[in-house]
């Protein structure tokens, strides 16, 4: 698969980002809108992956403190190739910007799995949109593809 990868910011691409995240999180997964969009969107770098027809198929963001999140992929494109592309682009951006640790928010059920990958819990577990979650982090040099089924 060939993808067009764009690094964008909220001010230039918010409409495209909102549209894609609404399709995946709000309509498909029933995440409350107020839980999906936050102040970190304005400060984060976002990526948009488009297919060969130019249709946006996936997005994710990297916050200034190194947290990868809001990974939204349209049905039909949720495969390892797409996830690897998203994470490789964001991790490379983090390296270029001297971010030393990568963090992600995972479901509580996958904490042990991520611990085996070298991630460590950061802070207390918390509830988000009715789901128990934990921030996990690791040094950027040890980052491995997380359990993509447990992310948001």
CB neighbours of residue 98 within 10 Å: 7
Nearest CA-CA partner of 128 in 110, 149, 105, 148? 105
- Residue 90, helix vs strand vs coil: helix
pLDDT at residue 117, rounded to an integer: 87
Q: Can you give the pLDDT of all 152 residues of the chain as single tens digits?
A: 789 999 999 999 999 999 999 999 999 989 989 889 999 999 999 999 999 999 999 999 999 999 999 999 999 999 989 999 999 999 999 999 999 999 999 999 999 988 988 899 999 999 988 889 999 999 999 888 776 665 55
pLDDT at residue 150, rounded to an integer: 55
């Amino acid at each position: 698969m060939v993808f067009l990868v764009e690094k964008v910011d909220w001010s230039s691409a918010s409409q495209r980002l909102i549209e894609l995240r609404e399709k995946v999180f709000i309509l498909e997964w029933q995440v409350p809108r107020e839980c999906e969009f936050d102040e970190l969107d304005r400060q984060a770098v976002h990526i948009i992956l488009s297919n060969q027809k130019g249709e946006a198929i996936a997005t994710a963001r990297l916050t200034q403190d190194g947290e990868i999140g809001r990974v939204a992929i349209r049905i039909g494109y949720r495969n390892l190739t797409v996830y690897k592309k998203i994470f490789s682009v964001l991790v490379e951006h983090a390296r270029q910007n001297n971010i030393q640790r990568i963090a992600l928010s995972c479901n509580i059920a996958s904490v042990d799995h991520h611990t085996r990958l070298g991630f460590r819990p950061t802070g207390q577990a918390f509830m988000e949109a009715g789901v128990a979650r934990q921030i996990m982090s690791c040094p950027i040099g040890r980052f491995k593809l997380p359990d993509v089924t447990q992310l948001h």
